[in-house]
Amino acid sequence: MSINVGDRIPEVALKRLRDGLETVDTYALFDGRKAVLFAVPGAFTPTCSARHLPGYIEHFEQFRSRGIEVFCMAVNDPFVMQAWAKTHSVPAGLQMLSDGNGDFTRALGLELDASSSGMGIRSRRFALYVENGMVRSCFIEQPGEFEVSSAEHVLAHLPS
């Protein structure tokens, strides 16, 4: 069963690279703030690199001006996420999170079996709007689609 509006973000440890490898707890990331978490099936994959991440980079300041933190997540290791961020000149405040083992993705109920493409279990493409650890809006794509989780769509559908 996948995450729904009104659900609390599950508590899972994720990884990120800043001044070294860090373990971050999802409660610490989402409690006490407004945030958009968007997830992609894989760093460096075509739609993720050409459209999904670039949209959030382009509209990053619009989210920030509304007091919203932005997090990008993939079932990739933190070193891949860091390399992908550098390749796309991701702004410092847009946090790149690694769910390398897919634990958070499974806890959200949003896993995607991409084994037929040689990618194993990945995350579905989605975006969640979270306030103080509670999901307020879900934008979950159907497999192969990219519409509702785009930065433009999410911005247009955030609560006032």
Number of folded domains that form the chain? 1
Token pair belonging to 65: 């001006």
- What is the mean pLDDT of the segment spanning 27-49? 96
Q: Given this model, what pLDDT does residue 118 score?
A: 85
**Has residue 3 been placed in a domain?**
no
The closest alpha carbon to 119, from 46, 66, 30, belongs to 46
Q: What is the mean pLDDT of the chain?
A: 96
Token pair belonging to 79: 């070193």
Q: Given this model, what pLDDT does residue 1 score?
A: 79
Model confidence pLDDT, tens digit, residues 8-26 = 999 999 999 988 999 999 9
**SS3 (DSSP) at 64:** helix
Structural domain of 19: 13-156
Active-site residue 72, yes or no?
Answer: no
The pLDDT of residue 160 is above 80: no
Q: Give the domain CATH number at 96.
A: 3.40.30.10
The CA-based diameter of the chain, rounded to the nearest angstrom, is 42
- Is 157:139 a contact under the CB 8 Å cutoff? yes
User: Rounded to two decimals, what is the model's pTM?
Assistant: 0.95
Model confidence pLDDT, tens digit, residues 98-147 = 999 999 999 999 999 888 888 889 999 999 999 999 999 999 999 889 99
- What is the mean pLDDT of the segment spanning 76-88? 97
Burial of 130 (0-12, 13-18, 19+ CB in 10 A): buried
Candidates 3, 14, 48, 138; catalytic one: 48
